[in-house]
Amino acid sequence: MQVITYQQHQAQVQADTDAHLIALWLHGRPTSTREAYERDIARFMVLIDKPLRSVTLGNVQAFADSLHAKAPATRARMLSSVKSLFSFAHRLGYLPFDVGRPLRTPRRKDTLAERIMTEADTHRILALEPNPRNRVLLRLLYASGVRVSEVAA
């Protein structure tokens, strides 16, 4: 078994501050994901009001409890964001252990079937849209399968 000294450990650490760690964690993520995660982590940091190296499982649980008024999918995303950050911090050596790992996230209700329109509904929407610009945008969305946010960008 190899013993790593404190100086060797410090040389291996990839982030110097919480902000640097968060920037590394967000790097390369799509813009909409990054923005949502930034909001989630900002809310978490305001609630706990301490550096990540001082956070305990109790702090993470208190954050989870503070989200009771949110929709289940929102709670799940916010808690998953926090858990992901702690997992990343642990893997990088920034934290000695992952305090978010024991936290269970709420189960997400599968609503995919509720959001799928029939082909007939789609054709009806296309036919009933009076504005030519909107009709073209709807056809683009339907034919290409792109997201609304991608078309808007």
Q: Residue 5 pLDDT > 70, yes or no?
A: no
Q: Within a 13 Å sphere around the CA of 49, how many CA atoms are in the beta-carbon half?
A: 1
pLDDT at position 11 is: 42
Is the whole model's pTM more than 0.85, yes or no? no
Give residue-wise pLDDT tens across range 67-126. 999 988 899 999 999 999 999 999 998 999 999 999 988 777 776 777 788 889 988 988
Instruction: Provide the 8-state DSSP code for 152.
Output: H
Average model confidence (pLDDT) for the chain? 87
Domain 6-92 of CATH type 2.60.40: no
Q: How far apart are CA 120 and CA 118, in angstroms?
A: 5
Residue range(s) in the chain whose domain bears CATH number 1.10.150:
6-92
CB 10 within 8 Å of CB 1: no
